[in-house]
């Protein structure tokens, strides 16, 4: 029997682009997740992280709490998750109805050169379950991801999907150079959030949306 090939990050992302709600807010972690998602499905409702490893999930948790009527999907890496495991414990405690975590599980710190994780054998779906995320599973094919995304739309509660893939260390070129200020401003407009106006002297202020 020939073993099926493990999907690539691109394979999973193409399925995600087809299966997610049209108004979903998508947060991607630094490196190839952000670059590739921008190349496949760039839109104002995407928030691309750069140079902040492990902080995509805490950001997405806050976003899910602030935007309870929209599905929030966060794509995090296994290395980033292990750096800030407390965020996953907090998700289990808060249990937002509208948050889906898709973990790119490749066993390495791809964004920093491909160093292997301290413990590559961890069952991170089981870890998520132990932290209070009852709906946690591992997928090894795009078909399994498609089914998981369909289930996500039919029920409430945080979802955790660990997508197994081979290490992909070749850096993907985004469709345009990322500018964090532009990313933040564009995303803020997409969710109708006021823009923070800094001040040289004194305290800044939030702009009026009137």
What is the distance between the terminal CA atoms of the chain, rounded to a whole angstrom? 64
Lowest mean pLDDT among 45-59, 124-138, 158-172, 185-199: 185-199
Q: Is pLDDT of 55 > 70?
A: yes
> Given pLDDT bands bounded at 50, 70 and 90, which one contains residue 53?
confident
pLDDT for the residue 109: 75
Give the domains, in start order, of the chain with CATH numbers. Answer: 9-206 (3.40.50.970)
Map residue 125 onto helix, strand or coil.
helix
**pTM given for the model:** 0.89
Q: Express each pLDDT in 106-139 by its tens digit.
A: 877 777 766 777 877 889 999 999 999 999 999 9
pLDDT for the residue 1: 41
Q: Is pLDDT of 56 > 50?
A: yes
User: How high is the mean pLDDT of the chain?
Assistant: 89
* Residue 191 burial (CB count, 10 A): 14
The residue whose two tokens read 């104002």 is: 44
């Amino acid at each position: 029997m020939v073993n099926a090939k493990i999907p690539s990050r691109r394979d999973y992302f193409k399925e995600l682009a087809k299966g997610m709600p049209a108004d979903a807010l998508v947060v991607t972690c630094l490196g190839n997740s952000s670059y590739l998602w921008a190349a496949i499905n760039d839109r104002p409702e995407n928030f691309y992280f750069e140079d902040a490893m492990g902080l995509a999930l805490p950001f997405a948790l806050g976003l899910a709490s602030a935007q309870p009527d929209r599905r929030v999907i966060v794509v995090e890496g296994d290395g980033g998750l292990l750096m800030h495991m407390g965020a996953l414990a907090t998700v289990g405690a808060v249990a937002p109805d509208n948050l889906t975590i898709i973990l790119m599980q490749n066993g390495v710190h791809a964004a920093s050169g491909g160093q292997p994780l301290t413990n590559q054998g961890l069952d991170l779906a089981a870890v998520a379950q132990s932290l209070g995320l009852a709906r946690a599973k591992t997928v090894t094919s795009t078909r399994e991801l498609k089914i998981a995304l369909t289930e996500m739309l039919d029920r409430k509660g945080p979802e955790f999907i660990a997508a197994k893939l081979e290490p992909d260390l070749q850096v993907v070129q985004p469709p345009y150079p990322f500018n964090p200020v532009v990313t933040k401003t564009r995303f803020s407009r997409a969710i109708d959030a006021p823009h923070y106006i800094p001040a040289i002297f004194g305290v800044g202020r939030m702009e009026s949306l009137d």
